[in-house]
Chain A
């Protein structure tokens, strides 16, 4: 029995234009297990978002195999929820309608039931009382909470998050990270999380893949063992700092290599 939810084997993604070809992803191998929180960490241009788009089915690999539960991933599907960096809510829908929109394909579900579910998930992300407002009336943090609720409401086995807090201020960002820790204790979905923030990756993840640029590749894999009942204070603990150091050293090493190769 395959215990991995997602398996990527020898994934390459080469963008070809008239002038030149560009290798965005070079031989990516990684796995995500059930209930696992996995982060792709790296500088911009390392292909981490490109990989997430492949898993989301919004783009296709040039070669290699990408399987979820043994099935090839070649198009988007409701077994994967996606949270984009730019919240991408539908501006003509109220907060709860944005969440309920994800249930559009549930033909057997009554409208009242959809609304109830939407309210429930908005409550889960801490938006109780804000169900009846438009996205344009919300702050960035609130919009991203709605986007998370929308991704969660279809109860996908795998949640894909593409730098979801990248556009938020530092304090809101920390609040959202704590929110994620709380939510995933409950939902137990697997997560593929893309970020360039080292603290964020160590705090949230069970495993971090550190990526390097030119060509985009996985430079190092680091398994994180922090307490399941972690809260923000763990970021000051010895093990946390050790992990952080390991990742920062790796990123530093890459930088040196780039300089040498110039």
Chain B
């Protein structure tokens, strides 16, 4: 409870500073719109029906791109984290591509996929997948050798040890990885939408730029932040449901 109050007071402080500098005219409304202007813009967008439409389109793109990346990154990451042979195979590829800036691929992605949703999936996949692979592999490597040996002494074969012990033991930290990377996925989505889109939150921000409609820009940014906060909270709640044993371990600390 005490910490919740502290959290709320942090937000109030930021709002207060924002209100102060805008309502007093310290900062011109072109450079930073007032909270009222942003709320009015939100009201207008909701009434026009574009507010939730933008959110849904962006959310859909990020969800598909992220799920596709996760679908491939999980098995490959687990392979890399548990087998030296697979690590030797994947590491150079993953390590090389990981450092290529995703943003630089946007021109190519437009050439390949146009401005379709596929292009957004591609950019998110590209931005997220390689990080996921490396992080999931690391998550698997932190599993204690002793629990692996327990599996071996109970007669499990290599595959069973990976499936029934390594993956299960690493699952809470893999979940944390997904949670972290999900945040990055938002960035890549907006990057993709800023450059080549006809809908979505990033597109709305880009369009507003042309008319210097700063309240639309701020609204878009705040909306993305809020969505991030909501999904992050959902990730946290799901972790509590899925890994009750892990929560209890933490309490002991």
Interface set of A (CB-CB < 8 Å, partner B): 56-58, 76-78, 80-82, 84, 86, 88, 90-93, 101-102, 104-105, 134-137, 154
Contact = CB atoms under 8 A, between A and B. Distances in A.
Contact of B164 (A77, A82, A104): A104
B249 A91 contact: yes
Contact of A84 (B149, B160, B252): B149
B248 A137 contact: yes
A58 B164 contact: no
Contacts of B248: 134, 136-137
A56 B146 CA distance: 13
B249 A90 contact: no
A32 to B, nearest CB: 17
30 contacts: A56-B149, A57-B152, A57-B153, A58-B152, A58-B153, A76-B152, A76-B153, A76-B154, A81-B153, A82-B150, A82-B153, A84-B146, A86-B146, A88-B146, A88-B147, A88-B149, A90-B165, A90-B168, A92-B168, A92-B171, A102-B154, A104-B154, A104-B156, A104-B160, A104-B164, A105-B154, A105-B155, A134-B248, A136-B252, A154-B154
Contacts of A90: 147, 150, 165, 168-169
Most buried by A among B153, B156, B249: B153
Contact of B144 (A78, A80, A88, A136): A88
B246 A91 contact: yes
Main secondary structure of the interface of B (DSSP, over half): helix
B112 interface: no
B89 interface: no
Interface in B153-206: 153-156, 160, 164-165, 168-169, 171
Interface in B239-253: 243-246, 248-249, 252
Main secondary structure of the interface of A (DSSP, over half): loop
B152 to A, nearest CB: 5
Contact of B153 (A80, A86, A92): A80
Nearest to A133: B248
Q: Which 8 A-B pairs have the closest CB atoms?
A: A88-B146, A136-B249, A78-B155, A82-B153, A134-B245, A136-B248, A76-B152, A76-B153
B95 to A, nearest CB: 26
B245 A91 contact: yes
Contacts of B164: 104
A154 B153 CA distance: 11
A160 B249 CA distance: 28
Nearest to B164: A104
Contacts of A137: 248
A76 B245 CA distance: 29
Contacts of B246: 91-92
Contact of B156 (A86, A91, A105): A105
A136 B146 contact: no
Nearest to B250: A136
Nearest to B171: A92
Interface in B64-113: none
Contacts of A78: 154-155
Nearest to A135: B245
Given A76-B152, A90-B150, A136-B245, 17 more contacts: A57-B153, A76-B153, A78-B155, A80-B153, A81-B153, A84-B150, A86-B146, A88-B150, A90-B165, A91-B249, A92-B243, A93-B245, A104-B154, A104-B156, A105-B156, A136-B252, A137-B248
Contacts of A84: 146, 149-150
Interface in B131-156: 144, 146-147, 149-150, 152-156
B230 to A, nearest CB: 27
